[in-house]
Structure 1
């Protein structure tokens, strides 16, 4: 479009566009200001009007309650029963008017109020109705002194509750109005920023456009001047750039230059063509003279060749007549031989055993139908091929050398050999080969006859399988493993060799078997056995010796590191999720390692020491391997004793809960308490979780212990919240092992239903390790828990490694700052970086932050300045039993020595 404009018109484009942009910007600013004015007017007319009306209703309600209370208090002193009922009815009528006013205001402002305001009004209306009923009941019970006093007290309590709901409604509406105003201001600021950005972009575009247009015009004029100078100097071979010109004047000038250039080029080319035609005529004359001479020589050579061809035809005719006589004799001889051959073929073709005939060069000459039926190859596919096309590669070259040596010496060989069918199936056969010599021709043929013995071998294998292999996993069983282990000990003892033994125990398999059933457990064992086998070499042996225990023999070990590499690979493979049906199942592996002869010179000693090392691996945290050392014998005894004591503690309910308050920094009130487990044996001192939780996780007992803790904490929380006037949340820690139970969410739902604790008053705490170990399964469980209304906190945040992509996917409500960062807070900026970053991260993700381990007022002040929401630590209270923390919950504030501090 711009190319059609003249130069004069193009110079006017920029000023016109500038005026248009200025007008548009002014119009957009006026529109934004008008819209902002309307939004502000709506807030004043609707939100503030509603707050004013509800405040008026609260005032009327409070006045009438005082009148009712005064009237009821004067009863039996200044008033009789009839006067009390009459005056009370009048007061109730006034309160009914307040109720009617509340309904009217709700209908008027329903369309402008949000969901939380509507729910608050409905709760207020219900509470007001209860209050009116209580007052009416008090009037009706005036003749019964005891019932009258109880009803009067109930009415006072309902007034306090209704008054609280009125105040709560006003706070919600005020907060809603404030949030709406802030949103409107933010939107207005964004619009102003957007308009400014648009103006800047358009003005930048106009400046760039002006510079570009002027540059293009100057460049095009310089190109035309250059072209004219070249033409004037007689240079017709220069190349002009074919730019698109921005105006009709320049385009016309360019076309005139091109036309002139083209005309000069045409004249030059015409002259060149005339000179080229003259030269071509001269060359054609010379060429014709040369061709006539060559044609004469070619005719002479053709005559000589014709004479030679006639002589050769006569000789060839005589030879063909002689060959025809010899061919007739050979045909007669072959006819007699074919009759004999047909008899032999009928016998071979009708036998049930396979027959194969080869020459001395091992080329197949013939096979019978039984051969084709057994091998799967057709006759056409094998003729002329080597018999080794069915070789299975199960036999060594030495085996075949011995076979052919026997044929060469004795002329016959028979034995068992394994071949491969066309389908790829390997099968056993009993083969007999005979050498057939032909002295006249000085040649040898080989005739092989074999039968398929697959059925016989299969029967043998089934007997061996039942005796020496595990029926479920098809791995060697304990008997075969013991035999191979003893053989390996003897071999290494005689050859001064080394080998290793692995003792593998699956982590958390018992829990999977108990919760998901034995069918799932069996499928899991089959898959785990397959993965372990893939981690080993062909000469190595892996066996299943009991339910979830496997052993392996690693041959030809040069260094201890070789065993560690294999063990680490097995652990990595076993920990990968197993898909069974529609669910993912997770288990792990703990592995013990013993080495011959370093850790024993007998099979039993090596197994026992590998078993001890495996238990040490479980004690150190499971999911790892451990090499045997001789200090493990005593440790294994201690570990087994602790397991027995934990089982006894579960059955005798020796686990108790202590509670530590979590304080809201802004209001210095107790918002929640964290339930912490303690072990109180019937005889002895209290044991803290650091001394037994890890072992409980290794042995799988953590599931039963965790279930007891969750049930006890919810029962205590439900009891407290029934007695308190303000809600208190109960925080419970869940182990990473518990999150491997896919039924965890269902169990939490059952506990809440049983105890009656509202879901919003339960908060489960999980560590970063739990979140990152199996993120897909953890995300699914957390979503199910969150959908119930239960809160979720990420505990000890910052002490491990977290992926922000996973953190944003999980439905967490709080981040708990690890106490290691809280307790290192000083006035140095470097000590404040990590806590500040976690608080800012929580604010960005809309998560509240809780600082653990707060012990000084300086730490609390620093956290408050950084914007932390909650604090927990010895500054407020150490973990105490339920009886000790109850007065703190009733007071709903910090301890006395902290209450007056500046926060």
Structure 2
């Protein structure tokens, strides 16, 4: 309120009373007006203070002030604004503490959120990601910068169009949680749960999507389905009928295809029917398993067919537990043929008895007698035929039931021939031998065969006169003493007669030169006596193959000659050769062991291949060696080219000794690549020979010659040293840890100095032991398993890498394989080149890879020449590859250039992918 300015006091004489009074009244009026204005403004101030105080109290949750409880004067005195201000300070302090607790709680919640095994996304109604945990970050945003509000379609579905079964869409549509959705993300399966988040108005503001990894469960379900399908396929492929039956109701719950085929009913028709309506027809209450409480039933029964036939079957039934419930499984086979065979057997036995009684040879049947320890001590005669009575000069009643030691002269205190008979009964291998009874001056040929366990039979033939004749013939100079065959002298005479007759009659003569394969190995292993036994067997079989007009001769050692008279063409000689190969391929029992032998045959034809016996014999001999070079157990006809080839081989054998000195050998290298990274990880050293006259000689031609002459040992040592030296040079120039593979020959591996020589080479060249890989074939390892294990462990102790070459083509036992310290298996090219065209070869490679990985070794595929082969190997998880698809064998300089300039190999855009197959590398 403004104040009136003070006036100077008037002098009494200057202001008269009426005027003064009037002025005072005027001032009083002004004061009253100003007082009223002040009160009004005071009232407005109280009202304003009260309103603002009520407003603050309302904010902090306190009841508004009431005038009757707090008048204006008191309101001013208590300073409500100050009180409220203090309260707000306390509230703000409390809010700060609450915010800290809330931040901590949010951190804990985020940690729980991130540690959840499932992947969790929070998405708003516009499909924008507003929150996510670490699991979902790895699943959906791996390797990406992750902006919030990233569209869930782009993160999950990778498409702009929303799928019809979208969980997010279903949650928005129904307003409820969705739990049964399954999605496929990054090659894995996830179970999806969608849950809505609603606001105060019950409207959905966000959707929580939870992804649980169910890939393993899906894979297990798929594996289970595949196993069930395989089982059903196996059961349906079985020739035996198989039924699964409910033991309570006797209803059929499963029947395989064989049951349907045998009965004539469809599988669906069989299901639900009572088993007695089809198998072992019987009244209820007669089932051996469920009613008679047998553990297992094995018996002959009858099967009823749709057309009313009754088929005899052999049935096996037992209880099994399937999915927690007891079932009855029955399997049966049709034994109609066996029944018919039994009937025929009875008829045959009658015929046999007639023959048995009338035959000229003496037949006796025996039973072996054993002591308490199971050792054969004698044999008992249980039956003889009339001819046997005549030969032994004893009556039947004097023989039956008696022991061999009572009938025949003793041999070293034991029954005669006891060891031979015991061997036949234990091994089951029939045999024949000659038996002398000196007291009667008789010689018998005894053929022995096992008739049943601990029982055998002999056929006794009196060969006394024949033996006398043989002894007389053996004295003749024209027969071989061992085999009784014509010898070289008689062979020359008969060949001359045959060629002379053929010349007169315009006919042909075939000369077959036979040499038993690996006969020296048999002699070295079993001894010369056993070798002689084999020669006798061969001679016997050859006699059985040839005609009476033909001649079989023994030249000496394991060489035989067959002279075939009056042949019309080479086909006749081929037929005879095939018969000989077949006859000699059957195993022979040598010292109680079956030994399989084979022969190589060279054939020359008169007059095309020689006009005189010497030429025919020489040319057939040349053809025989060609048969051996072709893999043995075969035959070859002579051709004029063979002489030039034989001459070349003779020259190569002589030059092999000089090739090392002359420096004609060199090494090429074929790279080996990692199948996933496309980089060179190793290389295989391949021996080459640049002959001074013949040029480059194929390893397939000179390596067998080196092995036969024994020079492979010195050549192999040179290869090992040279490969290590060049590999070290390549490492230093290219600055990479390159691995080099070297093949070991049989003689190298059998060399007792091999470990020491390898150690010396590594020391001289500076190559690390782990960068040298030695390759051995399966056949080498299996020749002497214990010795092979010893050598391999010595090499492994040095740190050398070991590999089995050409795996899959040998005969190694898997039980031995896991005992060898092998690092790599090299799959033979014969499987690789058929992997895309032959299902069986693909399955074999898959099995080899799985086998190798299961025992902790890596797999290298050889001979990869096509893109399809490479892709199939990738799918089967092969580790490394080599072949013409990537590179031919190259010299060291070219290889170093490749290594120095190499980038990741493109498996799919390589020029060789669409090219023709290349030549096989040795």
- Does the pair score TM above 0.5? no
Q: Normalising by the residue count of structure 1, what TM-score does the alignment of the two structures yield?
A: 0.40
Q: Which has the higher helix share?
A: 1
Which has the bigger relative contact order, CA under 8 A and spacing at least 6?
A: 1
Q: Normalising by the residue count of structure 2, what TM-score does the alignment of the two structures yield?
A: 0.39
